[in-house]
Amino acid sequence: MIRLFLLILVFNNGIITNCFSQKQERNSLRSISLRTNLFSFVELDAGIMVGVKYQINERFAATIDPMFIFYNPYDSHDQQPLGIKIRSDIRYYFDKYKAGHDRFFIAPELHLKYVSTKKIDDFGFNCISGQCSYYMNAQYREVKSEAGGSVKLGTEIPLDKKETWSLEIYAGFGVKVIHYSEKDIPFRSSFVSTPTHQFPLLEDTPVPILPGFAKLSFRIW
């Protein structure tokens, strides 16, 4: 009886150990992490970014990084923007998962941005052939939209033994298109002079970009 009891105990212990190790392996290969851009507060359109990464298996993962834009640290005219930027990628890891080791990946990335900025300019009202009934300084909204894509190479570096915290560093190459438009213009008015934009030479033209960022991740599952 004692031998049978010890045999059952050893057998159960083996099953529990095996299940636990399988659970650890599954958790290592599939996870969900929260992410933030360490430099989002110093970008041209600055704000707060909180994103999510889903590790699908040991080779593939997907991310989506929305950023709430609410100020421009380099603007001296108190023209504060308000908008959102979204980056998303599907990444492929070159190496299989090994606990405590850096991982290298390649990923196509899509990014979209929509920013609205309140501005003040001179408007002419009831204008005919360049002659206006009267002029007024009024407020309107400048809307900047961006769409682009890139391919990036990066590495994920675990920062603790449990791999709860990790640092992602990447760089890449891509293109984007910037488009400007003016909204909420006073009724029956026109600009006295053509409004100037932030990047007038880059409007509606594909331009190369070199994205590079550092992001901090916190694993929640």
Domain 29-113+144-173+200-219 fold: Porin (2.40.160)
Element (H, E) at 217: strand 212-219
Per domain, the residue ranges of the chain are 29-113+144-173+200-219
Rounded to whole angstroms, how far apart are CA atoms 86 and 64?
A: 7
Give the pLDDT confidence score for residue 10 in this predicted structure.
40
Tell the residue number behind the tokens 């923007």, with chain if given.
81
Tokens of 174: 């891509």
pTM recorded for the entire structure: 0.79
Question: Taking a C-beta distance cutoff of 8 angstroms, is the pair 102, 114 a contact?
Answer: no
CA distances from 130 to 50, 94, 122 (A): 49, 63, 14
Give the pLDDT confidence score for residue 46 in this predicted structure.
94
Give the pLDDT confidence score for residue 97 in this predicted structure.
83
CA max distance for the chain: 109
Residue type, 210: L
Tell the residue number behind the tokens 């041209």, with chain if given.
44
Give the pLDDT confidence score for residue 8 in this predicted structure.
34
Tokens of 86: 């979204």
**Mean pLDDT per 10-residue section of the chain, whose length is 221 residues:** 39 42 53 94 93 95 97 78 96 89 96 94 89 92 96 96 94 96 92 87 91 94 90
Question: Taking a C-beta distance cutoff of 8 angstroms, is the pair 202, 144 a contact?
Answer: no
Give the pLDDT confidence score for residue 28 in this predicted structure.
54
Rounded to whole angstroms, how far apart are CA atoms 188 and 169?
A: 51
Query: What percentage of the chain's residues is helix, strand, coil (to nearest 5)?
Result: 15, 55, 30
